[in-house]
Amino acid sequence: MRPLIAGNWKMHGSLSEARALAGAVAEGKVQGAELLVCPPFPYLLPVQGALAGSTVALGAQDCHAAAKGAHTGDISAPMLKDCGAGFVILGHSERRADHGEDDAAVRAKAEAVLAEGLVPVVCVGESEAQRLSGEAEPVVAGQLAGSLPEGFAQVHGVVAYEPVWAIGTGRTPTEDDIAAMHARIRAELAARFGAAGGTLRILYGGSVKPGNAKAILALPHVDGALVGGASLVAADFLAIASAV
């Protein structure tokens, strides 16, 4: 399977910065990896324009579980599709923390994304306390069981393993710990989806930088990266993608 290097821009940047960043990523000419950028909602269309003619895919960072309705301030999967998004990040730990999203909410959103034929990028990951108490793998297995909808494998859904304590901190798990968790996630996907589970991409996210990308991306069952801070600098994002 082709590795996926995804940039989660979170709530950063101005419109002109978003256009410039997308344009620079589009010109990157990276071999060997698929690239995805996920700007804030208002920048989806201008970023789509900046990516035109390139192979870089466009994604969003969240969506509502309903296709339409009286949900002030929310955005639906059909709207995202209309704006050119092919992927939707769901269940990021910042959404789980800031907006109280639980596994059932993430699953409902993933169903909405599937209904539009878009690809969900479902995030899972343990807290530092859970890691220290030896619960990391069962916590992540539980999140997968609760968050992934039936049909996830048919659309080649993506799982992103992001230990909460590694996000934006400059800290990462050891390579052994990343490999062990990705092997566990692979086993959970195979148990749930059969042979198709073996073909789904499992991304690592949390303080991925040009300096550590090569080692992380070389680990078994690490099929790409979900990059936060370093995705805001085109040269860094492209360097991570080139490390595949």
Ligand X SMILES: O=C(CO)COP(=O)(O)O
Contact letters for ligand X, residues 124-153 (x by CB under 6 A)? ------------------------------
CA gap 89, 120 in Å, rounded: 6
Residue spans of beta strands (DSSP E) within 69-215: 87-90, 119-124, 158-161, 202-205
Told to check if 205 binds ligand X by CB under 6 A, we report: yes
Q: Reply yes or no on whether 162 is catalytic.
A: yes
Q: Of 90, 206, 221, 222, which one interacts with ligand X (CB under 6 A)?
A: 206
Q: Of 3, 4, 5, 8, which one interacts with ligand X (CB under 6 A)?
A: 8
Tokens 């000419």 -> residue: 29
CB of 167 to ligand X, least distance (A): 4
Q: Of 37, 167, 179, 234, which one interacts with ligand X (CB under 6 A)?
A: 167
The separation between CA 1 and the C-alpha centre of its own chain, rounded to angstroms, equals 16
**Is 229 within any annotated ligand binding site?**
yes
* Alpha carbon distances (Å) from 19 to 1, 83, 132, 199: 29, 15, 41, 33
* Alpha carbon distances (Å) from 123 to 45, 68, 164, 236: 24, 24, 10, 22
Q: Of 103, 126, 162, 188, which one interacts with ligand X (CB under 6 A)?
A: 162
Q: Of 42, 168, 211, 220, which one interacts with ligand X (CB under 6 A)?
A: 168
Under rule CB under 6 A, which residues in 214-243 are in contact with ligand X? 226-230
- The bridge status of strand 202-205 relative to strand 158-161 is parallel
Under rule CB under 6 A, which residues in 85-104 are in contact with ligand X? 92
Told to check if 194 binds ligand X by CB under 6 A, we report: no
38, 43, 45, 50 alpha-carbon torsion, rounded to 10°: -80
Q: Which residues are annotated as a binding site for substrate?
A: 8-10, 168, 207, 228-229
Which residues are tagged catalytic?
92, 162
Interaction site with ligand X (CB under 6 A): 8, 92, 162, 167-168, 205-208, 226-230
